[in-house]
Chain A
C-alpha cells in the first residue's frame, strides 16, 4: 500500500489487488524517521482513478458479444493491466497517533513520509483493552473476539439502532443479560413482548438469569395512595394530557382525601363528581380518572406493586420486563409514567445506586418532554437509558448529541443515515460510509466502550428465546 494523499483528517491509500483491505479495517502508517505512526481507519473503498480505464473497459465491453479473440502476450502484460484496473483507493479517517511506547494520542498534526512509511494492518482491539475488569463479549472482528467493558455503559446514554431485522434487539438482549450478569439492575420497556423468555434457552432450559415479567393481564396492580400524588398527577398530565388548571383542582382533591386517609381511585372519581368547580374541569378530571380505572391497573389495591417489590426484583442483577405488548398507546404511556415515577423514587431515596433502562421504540410511549429529562435529571439520579429503535429520526437530536455509546446496524435509507449522523462520537462520513451495506448482525460500535475508535463487530449469537424474529407465513 502507498499513501496517495492527505487532506484534513482524511488519508487516501492506494491498495493493489493482492493486498487485503476491507471497510472499517485499521492501518498504521509507520514513519521510521520519527518513530511513530498514524492510525487510520478505512471508511470507504473505491477504484483508483487510473487514467485510461474507461477506454479499457469500453474495449472489454466490445469483446463481450460480437468480438472474440486472443492475445499473444509473451510478457503477460495483460495481467498487469488487470491489476491496475483492480487497484483500489482506500479512503481513511485519521484516528490518532501511535507513539513509540504503543500508546494512542489524538495528535494528528504531523505527516508521515510518503516514500519511507510502512503501512501495515493494526489490531485495534489491543487499544480498547478488550474487556477491562467487567468484560462483555459482544462478538468478533476479523475472527478475533471483541469484549467491551461493562463499565463503559455505566453512567451513560446508549443508542442501539438499525433497520428492521438487522440485529439490534439481539444486541440489546446480549447487553441486558451481560449487564445483569455483572449485577446491574435492569428494566426493559418491552413493546413487542420479545424479552419475556430471556431466562430460557432455545431448547427450553432455564438459565441463571433472574427475570421478572410484569404485564397488565398477569395481575399487575398499583395502589393509588401508594403511588402518591406526584406519580398520579404525572400520569394525568403527561400520559392523559390533563390541563394545568384541572391538575391544580386534582391536587386539592387529592390532599383532602389524603388527610382523611381515603385516597383510592373510586374515591377520587366520586369526589370529583361532587366537587365545586367549573363543569369543564370536573369533566376533564372525571373522564381521565375513568380511563385510569378502565385500564385494570387499579382493580386490586390490596396487593399492589410497590417500589419495594420493584427494588427486590432488580437489585443484584435482576431483569424486570414491563411487557407493553398488545396495550394501546394510552395504557403504555400510563405504565411507563408509573414505572419511571417509581424508579425515580427508588433512586432518589438511594435504595439503589443506579439502574439500567432498556427502552425499545421509546417514541411509542415517551412524552416529548421526557427526552430532555433522560439526558439531564434521570442520569444524575442514576437511571441510565439504552434506546433501541429502527426509526432513528424518532429519537430526539439531543439524545444523539449526548449519547455515550452508539451501536449502529445496517441502514440504507439516506434519511435514517442522516439522522444518526448527528452523533457526537463520530464524524458523519464515518457513519455514512461504514453503516451502509453492512450485513445482518454486524454492528458499528462507537463511543466509550471502544475508546472512541469506531469498530465493526459481528455480534455474538445468543442462546435464549429471543422471540424478536419476524413471524413468517411461508416458513
Chain B
C-alpha cells in the first residue's frame, strides 16, 4: 500500500514519456556474457550463500567517493535556496540496480544482477524489471579468455579485474539510466547515487552520454544519495544542515570540487544537500551541471510537490529500490535455478568464521 499525499489530476495523455510495450529488451551482449560466464560452471560444486537474514543486503552497499572537507569552508556560510513544492505534473522516472552474491564455486563466485525502472503515472506507477541475470565471475586463468571478447561490451573494461562485480552492476545500472534518458521527454529522471564519475569502475563518458541524451529530450537528471561519505572534520556533511525545517537546497559544489583534483574524478553534477519535505531527511543531491538554476529549482519543486511521500524521499525512486533489491527467497530461487540448470552440485562448506566464533561469527560488515 502506498501512502499518497498528493492528488495528481493531469490526464494520462499529457505524460508523453511512458514507454509502450517492452521496447527495451536486455542487450544481447549482456545476455551472452551472462550465458557464457555461467557455462563455465558445468560440473562445479556450489557453496550456496547462507541465507541468514543478517547477511541480506551485504552486496547492495553504495560505493561512493569519500572526502573530508575543511571545517572552515562549511562555516563560511552557504546559500540556502528554498524549494517551493509545485503540483503540476511532469513525467518523473527513476531507476536502480542491485547485485547479490548467490554462492561460491571452486573457481569464483556467482552473482545475480537486476535493474528496475519506474515511471510515475497519474493514477499509478509503471515499472519494468530486467533480470536477474547471473554471472559466474572466476578468479582463475579462464577469464583471461573472456577479457578480449567482452572488452567491447564493457567499453574496454576487463572482466577479470578486482571489482568486476561493481563494474557489471554499474554497467547494468547505466544501461537502465540510458533507457530512461532516451524515453523520458520533458521530464525528470531520478537516479540512485551521484553524478560523480571518472573512476575505472564508473567511466565519465558513460554518464556524460546519459546526461546529454536526457538534455536533448529536455529532461533534467537528478541523482539522489541516501547516504554520503562527504564529511566535515570527520562528521557527515548532512548533519550540518539538519536544523532547517522547510524544503530547501544547499549547493556545496564549490566546497567539494575544491577538495578534488580536476582529474580523474569528474563531478558531472552540482553537489547539493536537499530536504524535500519539512518532515523528511536530508539527502545528497547531484543536479546535472548543465541545468540552469531556475530549471533545477523548478524540477525540485515538482519532485517535492508530486513525488515525495515517505520521509522526504521520492516515491518513484523508493519503488525502484524496493523492486530491484533481492529478497532471501529470491536468492534461494536463484540457487535452485543454478543447481537445476547448470549441472552443479550443492556443497555447503562450513564457515570458518562461524566455526571459530560461533554466534559471533556473522556480521554484515565483515562477511
A interface residue numbers (CB < 8 A to B): 50-53, 55-56, 59, 61-62, 65-75, 77, 80-81, 83-85
Whether B329 lies near A69 (C-beta < 8 A) is: no
Query: B38: nearest residue on chain A (CB-CB)?
Result: A75
The stretch among B87-95, B130-138, B153-161 that forms the contact with chain A is B130-138
The distance in angstroms between the C-alpha atoms of A61 and B126, with both chains bound, is 15
Q: Which residues from A are CB-within-8-Å of B53?
A: 51
Whether B2 lies near A62 (C-beta < 8 A) is: yes
B113 to chain A, nearest CB (A): 12
Query: A85: nearest residue on chain B (CB-CB)?
Result: B329
Query: A71: nearest residue on chain B (CB-CB)?
Result: B129
Q: Which residues from B are CB-within-8-Å of A56?
A: 327, 329-330
Most buried by B among A65, A69, A81: A69
The distance in angstroms between the C-alpha atoms of A68 and B322, with both chains bound, is 14
Whether A52 lies near B130 (C-beta < 8 A) is: no
Interfacial residues of chain B within 331-350, with CB under 8 A of chain A in the complex: 331-334, 336-337, 341
Whether B132 lies near A77 (C-beta < 8 A) is: yes
Whether B128 lies near A84 (C-beta < 8 A) is: no
Q: Is B12 at the interface (CB under 8 A from chain A)?
A: no
Whether B336 lies near A84 (C-beta < 8 A) is: yes
Which residue of A51, A61, A77, A80 is within 8 Å of B1 (Cβ)? A61
The distance in angstroms between the C-alpha atoms of A80 and B335, with both chains bound, is 9
Q: Which residues from A are CB-within-8-Å of B118?
A: 69
Q: Is B26 at the interface (CB under 8 A from chain A)?
A: yes
Whether A69 lies near B336 (C-beta < 8 A) is: no
The distance in angstroms between the C-alpha atoms of A328 and B327, with both chains bound, is 67
Main secondary structure of the interface of B (DSSP, over half): mixed
Assuming the A-B contacts A66-B125, A80-B337, are A52 and B328 also in contact, with contact meaning beta carbons closer than 8 angstroms in the complex? yes
Q: Given known contacts A52-B51, A72-B131, A75-B134, what 10 new A-B pairs fall within 8 Å (CB)?
A: A52-B329, A52-B332, A53-B329, A56-B329, A67-B124, A68-B127, A74-B31, A75-B132, A77-B337, A85-B329
Whether A69 lies near B334 (C-beta < 8 A) is: no
Q: Is B123 at the interface (CB under 8 A from chain A)?
A: yes
Which residue of A62, A65, A77, A80 is within 8 Å of B322 (Cβ)? A62
Which residue of A59, A65, A72, A83 is within 8 Å of B130 (Cβ)? A72
- Number of residues from B at the complex interface, CB < 8 A: 38
Q: Is B111 at the interface (CB under 8 A from chain A)?
A: no
Interfacial residues of chain B within 39-92, with CB under 8 A of chain A in the complex: 51-53, 56
Q: Is B323 at the interface (CB under 8 A from chain A)?
A: yes
A84 to chain B, nearest CB (A): 5
Q: Is B319 at the interface (CB under 8 A from chain A)?
A: yes
A81 to chain B, nearest CB (A): 4
Whether A72 lies near B128 (C-beta < 8 A) is: yes
Which residue of B126, B133, B323, B336 is within 8 Å of A80 (Cβ)? B336
Whether B26 lies near A50 (C-beta < 8 A) is: no
Q: Is B11 at the interface (CB under 8 A from chain A)?
A: no
Whether A51 lies near B51 (C-beta < 8 A) is: yes
B interface residue numbers (CB < 8 A to A): 1-2, 4, 22, 25-26, 31, 51-53, 56, 118, 123-134, 319, 322-323, 327-334, 336-337, 341
Q: Which residues from A are CB-within-8-Å of B334?
A: 77, 80
Most buried by A among B2, B31, B127, B333: B333
Whether B329 lies near A68 (C-beta < 8 A) is: no
13 sampled A-B residue pairs with Cβ under 8 A: A51-B51, A51-B52, A52-B329, A65-B1, A66-B2, A66-B4, A66-B123, A67-B125, A67-B127, A72-B128, A73-B131, A75-B341, A84-B329
Whether A77 lies near B124 (C-beta < 8 A) is: no
Whether A80 lies near B333 (C-beta < 8 A) is: yes
Query: B331: nearest residue on chain A (CB-CB)?
Result: A52
Q: Which residues from B are CB-within-8-Å of A71?
A: 128-129
Which residue of B26, B129, B329 is within 8 Å of A51 (Cβ)? B329
The distance in angstroms between the C-alpha atoms of A69 and B121, with both chains bound, is 12
Whether A59 lies near B322 (C-beta < 8 A) is: yes
Whether A75 lies near B133 (C-beta < 8 A) is: yes
The distance in angstroms between the C-alpha atoms of A84 and B336, with both chains bound, is 9
A244 to chain B, nearest CB (A): 72
> Which 8 pairs from chain A and chain B are nearest by CB?
A52-B328, A69-B127, A52-B327, A51-B328, A52-B329, A80-B333, A55-B327, A81-B333
B201 to chain A, nearest CB (A): 25
A224 to chain B, nearest CB (A): 79
The distance in angstroms between the C-alpha atoms of A59 and B327, with both chains bound, is 10
Whether A84 lies near B332 (C-beta < 8 A) is: yes
The distance in angstroms between the C-alpha atoms of A121 and B337, with both chains bound, is 27
Q: Which residues from A are CB-within-8-Å of B331?
A: 52
Assuming the A-B contacts A52-B327, A61-B1, are A68 and B332 also in contact, with contact meaning beta carbons closer than 8 angstroms in the complex? no
Whether B128 lies near A69 (C-beta < 8 A) is: yes
The distance in angstroms between the C-alpha atoms of A196 and B4, with both chains bound, is 68
Which residue of A66, A75, A85 is within 8 Å of B337 (Cβ)? A75
Q: Which residues from A are CB-within-8-Å of B125?
A: 66-69
Most buried by B among A61, A75, A81, A84: A75
B235 to chain A, nearest CB (A): 33
The distance in angstroms between the C-alpha atoms of A56 and B322, with both chains bound, is 10
Q: Which residues from A are CB-within-8-Å of B336?
A: 80, 83-84
The distance in angstroms between the C-alpha atoms of A67 and B133, with both chains bound, is 23
The distance in angstroms between the C-alpha atoms of A51 and B50, with both chains bound, is 11
Q: Which residues from B are CB-within-8-Å of A83?
A: 333, 336
The distance in angstroms between the C-alpha atoms of A52 and B127, with both chains bound, is 21
